[in-house]
Amino acid sequence: MASQFGVLFRVATWGESHGGGVGAVVDGCPPRIALTPEDIQRELDRRRPGQSEIVTPRDEKDRCEILSGVFEGKTLGTPISIFVKNEDARPEAYREMQSAYRPSHADFTYEAKYGIRNWQGGGRASARETIGRVAAGAIAKKVLAEAVPALEIVAYVKSVHHLEAVIDVETVESQAVEQSIVRCPDPKASDLMIELIKTMRKEGNSVGGVIECVVRNVPVGLGEPVFDKLEADLAKAMLSLPATKGFEIGSGFAGSRMTGSEHNDLFEMREGRVTTKTNYSGGIQGGITNGEPIVFRVAFKPTATILRPQQTVDVTGSSTELMARGRHDPCVLPRAVPMVEAMALLVLCDHWLRQKAAS
C-alpha cells in the first residue's frame, strides 16, 4: 500500500529512477471520459527535466504511453496503465552512492529499512517517481473537468528563499504562471527568483521555497468529517511529495496568532449562495468544503544535492567525504508546481467520487 493513494480514484505508482521506467495504474476512473496521451503529456512536460535553464539538464523526454483502460479515445472504467521509459539514465554518476550515504537524501534510510537499495540513482525517492502522480493527476483533471466544469486549480511559486511574491488568490491564472520559468506569476518576484536560482547553481548550492495553490469553484460538501477531512488528505498528499517540510491551509500558522473574533469567517448571502466574508478557513470547515476557494501552501526544503564536498559516512560506518556529480535542480519548486496540482487533483477527484456515493 506504500505506493497507492486514494480510496475510489486509486493510483498505484511504480518505478525507480534507474531501471526499465516509471508508471502508474489508475483504478476507479469513471468510464466515458475523453482521454488522450496528449492530455497527460501536457502535464508531464511541465514536470520534466531540461525544460528551462534553471532546472536539471537531465535529458528525459518523458513520453507517456497509455497501455490500457482507454478505447477509441474514451476511458473504459477499467484500470488505466501509464508507462514512461527511462532514457537518459547515467548510473555511473551515482557510483559513489553505492558505498556512501548522501546527506539529507534517503540512501541511509532505504538501506536501514530494506537492507538493499538501487544505488544507481534515487530509486523510489527520486523525483522521477512523481511522473506517475502527474500522469494520474492529468486524468483526474479530465474527470473533474466533465463533472465540475467551473472548477479551477492554480498552483504557483509563492516564495523562493526570502523572496516572496504578491499574488491575488481570487484572480491568479495558470497562464500567468506558465509565462514564468520559475512558475511565479508575479513578474518582479519571478525575475528575482530566477536570478537567485542561477546564482545558487553557480555556487553549487540550492534553495527552497513555498508553493501556494488555490482551487476555485469547488462544490460544497467534499471531504469527510473525521479522519478523511479534506485538509487532512491534502496535507498527506503534499507531505508525500519529495522535499516537502510543511503544509498549511487558509490562515495556517499565522492563524495561530489571531483571536477568534478576528479569525471567524462570518457567513453572508451572496448571489443566493451562502458565502463567507473572509476565508481564513481556506475553503474547508469541519473537513468539508464550504464553496469558498481552497487555499493552501506547501514548504519545500532546499534540494539536498549540492555540488560541494560534504561530510558523511559510508556503509561500513566510516567517515568519508562525498561530492555529488549527478544532474540536479538548484531549486525544485518550478517543477514541483505541477506535482502539487496533481496531488490536489487526485484528492479532489477521489472525494468527489466519494461524495457521489455518499449523497
User: Within 271-330, which residues bind a second copy (CB under 8 A)?
Assistant: 272, 274, 276-277, 280-282, 284-291, 299-306, 308, 310-313, 317-319
Q: How far is the CB of 267 from a second copy (least distance, A)?
A: 4
* Contact flags string 150-179 toward a second copy, x per CB under 8 A: ---------x-xx-----------------
Residue 333 grid coordinates: 519548486
Beta-carbon contacts of 83 under 8 Å, excluding residues fewer than 6 positions away, are 21, 23, 64, 65, 67
Stretch that binds a second copy, among 55-63, 172-180, 334-342, 347-355 (CB under 8 A): 347-355
Residue type at 62? D
Chain centre to alpha carbon of residue 123 = 18
Q: How far is the CB of 45 from a second copy (least distance, A)?
A: 21
According to the binding rule CB under 8 A, does residue 37 interact with a second copy? no
According to the binding rule CB under 8 A, does residue 355 interact with a second copy? yes
Contact 159, 337 (CB under 8 A): no
Radius of gyration of the chain (CA): 21
Q: How far is the CB of 25 from a second copy (least distance, A)?
A: 5
Cα–Cα distance, 119 to 113 (Å, whole number): 14
Q: Which is nearer to a second copy, 166 or 358 (CB)?
A: 358
According to the binding rule CB under 8 A, does residue 41 interact with a second copy? no
According to the binding rule CB under 8 A, does residue 207 interact with a second copy? yes
**Which of 13, 41, 180, 190 touches a second copy by CB under 8 A?**
13
Q: Which is nearer to a second copy, 168 or 271 (CB)?
A: 271
Q: Which of residues 215-244 bind a second copy (CB under 8 A)?
A: 220-221, 223-229, 231-240, 242, 244
Q: How far is the CB of 236 from a second copy (least distance, A)?
A: 4
Q: How far is the CB of 18 from a second copy (least distance, A)?
A: 9
Q: Which of residues 51-70 bind a second copy (CB under 8 A)?
A: 65-69
Q: How far is the CB of 173 from a second copy (least distance, A)?
A: 24
Q: How far is the CB of 175 from a second copy (least distance, A)?
A: 26
Cα–Cα distance, 334 to 300 (Å, whole number): 11
According to the binding rule CB under 8 A, does residue 145 interact with a second copy? no
Helical pair 37-47 and 333-358, crossing angle rounded to 10 deg: 140
According to the binding rule CB under 8 A, does residue 356 interact with a second copy? yes
**Which of 41, 110, 127, 139 touches a second copy by CB under 8 A?**
110
Q: How far is the CB of 153 from a second copy (least distance, A)?
A: 19
Beta-carbon contacts of 95 under 8 Å, excluding residues fewer than 6 positions away, are none
DSSP 34: B
Cα–Cα distance, 133 to 349 (Å, whole number): 13
Cα–Cα distance, 110 to 115 (Å, whole number): 7
Cα–Cα distance, 108 to 93 (Å, whole number): 18
Cα–Cα distance, 127 to 241 (Å, whole number): 9
Q: Is 53 exposed, middle or buried (0-12, 13-18, 19+ CB in 10 A)?
A: exposed
- Total residues contacting a second copy by CB under 8 A comes to 151
Cα–Cα distance, 69 to 33 (Å, whole number): 11
Question: What does DSSP say about strands 294-300 and 244-249: parallel, antiparallel, or unpaired?
Answer: antiparallel
Stretch that binds a second copy, among 37-45, 52-60, 99-107, 173-181 (CB under 8 A): 99-107
Q: Which is nearer to a second copy, 34 or 171 (CB)?
A: 34
Q: Which of residues 69-98 bind a second copy (CB under 8 A)?
A: 69, 71, 74-81, 83
Residue 135 grid coordinates: 500522469
Nearest to 40 by CA among 56, 20, 21, 26: 26
Q: How far is the CB of 152 from a second copy (least distance, A)?
A: 20
